Amino acid sequence: MLSSNVFLLVVQATLYFTVMMTLLRARKSLGIGVFMCALGVMHFLETYLASVFYIQLPFGIISPGSTVMFSGKLLMILLLYIREDAAVVRQPIYGLLIGNFLIVGLVMILRNHNTVSVVPGHVPDIGFVDEMGWLMVWGTILLFLDSVGIIVLYERMGNLFGRHLGWRFLFCGAVMLSFDQAGFYLALRYISQAPIEVFLGGWMAKMFATVVYTGFFITYLKFFDDEKRWLTHRPFRDVFQVLTFRERYQDLLETTSLDHLTGAFLRRRYDAHAPEILKECLEAGKPLSMLIFDIDHFKGVNDRLGHQVGDQVLKAVGKLLKENVRQQDSLYRVGGEEFVMLACHLSADKAVGLAERIRKQIEQVSDVTLPEKVTVSIGVACAPDDGARLDDLFRVADQRLYEAKHRGRNRVSGPSPLA
């Protein structure tokens, strides 16, 4: 019985996190309103469960509404703040607070109606609605305090935890959910004389939920997103006051740095960011491979078939290169028909293998989809063996690119060249 309760709680948390994180991730295509509506529509259910629905666990009596739904809501608000800005995260909090006060106001008017019984034995329980309304108001006031607190704490803990995002997330969730459990228990104690076991069991359950949600978040970052995009450290005055629009600015910056034809980053992006990427890899003791791609006889394609076909070739090659870029890698168009790929944590032999695979793909796909077969020559260099500075690494990769061309083109030349 107890083990099945624990299992069902984990299933609920898994479903909650999966759906809400999917909506958060898809907010650019679906709209942020979908995420906010899903966040708010469960508010009545979680309050109802927190007030009357309890289950027995090994460490005490707890409510799934408080453990799974409210804990998940608070942590989702933190994630929304991290991915968006103060202006966006205020909307669901204020909306819930105003909506709950509206419920109380409407119920005060509704209770004055003279009602009739349409279904025998079914009569409205205004007393229950009153109780739920005030619990929802109190719960939302706590949510407001929790949300401000967890965001302030998250920013304050930036210096302590640094890049350890999981520990930062876990610590902030545990502290604020402890505060929330104490606040909500006071209301339950006042309204329904809930025993102290409800507080203790609920607190332990929320700590368990925080650990579970943190595990889900770390797993999400590992397989579906880049942790660097989630790291923030803002001054206190920014929290709920200054609109940072961080992610929108990043998206705008990336969009203006993209080559509209191939989708690769432009040369100025390479000049600005590539040195930092190399530095981070070297400081972490990891290799960084640079692959330079040059389309063979591209000028001849333009001369014979026209620039429109030349653009078609560039698009096709750019598309194939982007399909082979991992999440941690970067692709740049640094010349008319020349591309550079920076492959983080990729050793020289694996980089040569990647280059050879891409070379074959371009040759095979172009033979089917383009007016004539297109090939590329590729030079590969790997830091730190081929250089610890970006210019040195580029020079070595460029030399190997020309070696590939002198050997007949449509080849890869690197530290361990493949025939």
Which residues are part of the catalytic machinery?
337
289 φ/ψ angles, rounded to the nearest 5 degrees: -100, 140
| Residue 251: strand, helix, or coil | helix
DSSP string, 341-399: EEEET--HHHHHHHHHHHHHHHHHHHHHHSSS---EEEEEEEETTT-SSHHHHHHHHHH
Q: Is 378 exposed, middle or buried (0-12, 13-18, 19+ CB in 10 A)?
A: buried
Q: How many other CB atoms are found less than 10 A from the CB of residue 17? A: 21
Cα separation of 67 and 9, whole Å? 8
Are 373 and 367 within 8 A, CB to CB? yes
Cα separation of 374 and 146, whole Å? 59
Sign, Cα dihedral of 173, 179, 180, 185: positive
Kind plus residue range of the DSSP H or E element containing 11: helix 2-25
Are 228 and 28 within 8 A, CB to CB? no
Whose CA is closest to 289, among 245, 349, 219? 349
